[in-house]
Amino acid sequence: MDAISVIRAKRDGGRLTDGQIDWIIDAYTRGEVADEQMSALAMAIFLNGMDRAEIARWTAAMIASGERMDFTASLGTARPTADKHSTGGVGDKITLPLAPLVAACGAVVPQLSGRGLGHTGGTLDKMESIPGWRALLSNQEMLDVLNEAGAVVCAAGDGLAPADKKLYALRDVTGTVESIPLIASSIMSKKIAEGTGALVLDVKVGSGAFMKDIASARELASTMVGLGTDHGVRTVALLTDMSTPLGRTAGNALEVRESLEVLAGGGPADVVELTLALAREMLTAAGLPDADPAKALADGSAMDHWRRMIIAQGGDPDAALPVAREQHVLTASASGVLTRLDAYAVGVSAWRLGAGRARKEDPVQAGAGIELHAKPGEQVTAGQPLLTLHTDTPERFDYALAALDGAIDIAAPGTDFTPAPIVLDRIA
């Protein structure tokens, strides 16, 4: 085969054969297909799409480009495995309380996570604000942590779906990221290769999410659920609101503190609600529908698993978390009902404060971020604190405040306003 024939087939609106897909993924991974040729094919897919069979084969070819793990066999235990993937948002710290919570309820949770890029936060960046905690683990170390704590949160190894790693970097610089077949196969190739038995997808919808409207989010979720099912992984997706940041914080150490509040039986209502909703889905998919995650939060068992997981990965669960050196308070401009606090604007502002990165190699500030003192639907008074901005570098404040211009709406006192529900739909 040759790359030009494959490119032409998709350019002209045709469907790729299994043989064409297998060949081009393998050849690109080995370096026989040039970046410019794969860029042309990615653009052809972006413009002309793929059917379900093509997407399934593309995903399978990316899985076959590397190793495939099997935690159930490796652990030698009858405990079922379950994992969660979020498409990314602002203040989305759900993995932190969720992984130990589901482990406390009887499942094993191998949570391979990533870093933040742009306005969306990364789970590994948040966890690395815990002194001593390590994200990079060998396969044996991952198994050791799972045996000790029932859950692990760590970076995916280079051996999982290496074709996706190359292709993702290429899509990022060629304007082909926003393709549902390529997004779905990218996410699912890694999750299926990871070897979990059940997978719950948290597909975000709204200004702070990758998918801005519910129709696109529903299409992406349905595609990924289909891929998981086709590859023998019990998969379900929740569409969840990301028009407003989750919880009351956006930033690394700030979100860890909030996650600890949830594990201690408190925390913001929206974070608790989504954590429990995803936990119930994971446990049901793993064959444990009678487990009660609310009880595991209340009785402290989820916190126990958190502490064991942190210690097993070299961290100190009792150490003080980093605090930014400088703060700036943004106050309400009027009295009334807060009706909008734009998630994207808050995410960009936190990123500009140092909580995120523009390039994968950029450092982040552990203490940088934003605290939210009010959420949509709440009454506010002119002059009261709405947001507190945190950074080690105060010269960033003006740039971060500029991102929040026009991001906050306050209606007249007494205005009847009901925020959107957290869970918008379920795809199974």
* Domain that includes residue 22, residue range: 3-49
The three-state secondary structure class of 296 is helix
Instruction: Tell me what pLDDT residue 160 has.
Output: 86
Q: How far is it, in rounded angstroms, from Cα 175 to Cα 359? A: 16
| Same structural domain, 110 and 246 | yes
| Same structural domain, 294 and 333 | no
The three-point CA angle 176-178-180 to 5° equals 110
Q: Name the pTM for this structure.
A: 0.93
Instruction: Tell me what pLDDT residue 205 has.
Output: 97
Is 164 in the active site?
Answer: yes
Is 5 in the active site?
Answer: no
Residue 60 lies in a domain: no
The residue from 312, 340, 365 where one domain ends is 312
| Same structural domain, 351 and 375 | yes
Active site residue: 84, 93, 126, 190, which one? 190
| Same structural domain, 275 and 155 | yes
Q: For the residues of 339-380, what is the DSSP string, one character each?
A: EEE-HHHHHHHHIIIIIS-SSTT----TT-EEEES--TT-EE
How many domains are contained in the chain?
Answer: 3
Q: Any idea which residue has 């926003």 for tokens?
A: 178
| Same structural domain, 121 and 193 | yes
Instruction: Tell me what pLDDT residue 198 has.
Output: 95
| Same structural domain, 365 and 284 | no
Domain CATH number, residue 25: 1.20.970.10
| Same structural domain, 272 and 371 | no
CA distances from 106 to 109, 202, 259, 280, 316 (A): 10, 21, 20, 12, 24
Q: Which segments of the chain have a pLDDT < 70?
A: 72-74, 76-77
The three-state secondary structure class of 193 is helix
Residue 35 lies in a domain: yes
Is 85 in the active site?
Answer: yes
Between strands 408-411 and 379-380, the pairing is: unpaired
Residue 19 lies in a domain: yes
Instruction: Tell me what pLDDT residue 248 has.
Output: 98
Residue 125 lies in a domain: yes
Q: Minimal CA–CA distance to 106: which of 378, 288, 314, 334?
A: 288
Instruction: Tell me what pLDDT residue 76 has.
Output: 65
Going 396 to 403 to 92 to 231, the CA torsion angle's sign is: negative
Is 39 in the active site?
Answer: no
Active site residue: 83, 125, 164, 241, which one? 164
| Same structural domain, 250 and 385 | no
For 369, the token pair is 């971020």
Q: For the residues of 39-60, what is the DSSP string, one character each?
A: HHHHHHHHHH---HHHHHHHHH
Instruction: Tell me what pLDDT residue 361 has.
Output: 76
Active site residue: 115, 165, 166, 171, which one? 171
Tens digit of each residue's pLDDT (9 = 90 or more) over 318-364? 999 999 999 999 999 999 999 999 999 999 999 999 998 877 778 89
| Same structural domain, 353 and 300 | no
| Same structural domain, 399 and 266 | no
Instruction: Tell me what pLDDT residue 185 has.
Output: 95
| Same structural domain, 336 and 301 | no
Is 172 in the active site?
Answer: no
Active site residue: 10, 57, 85, 234, which one? 85
CA distances from 231 to 84, 113, 192, 262, 303 (A): 16, 21, 7, 34, 33
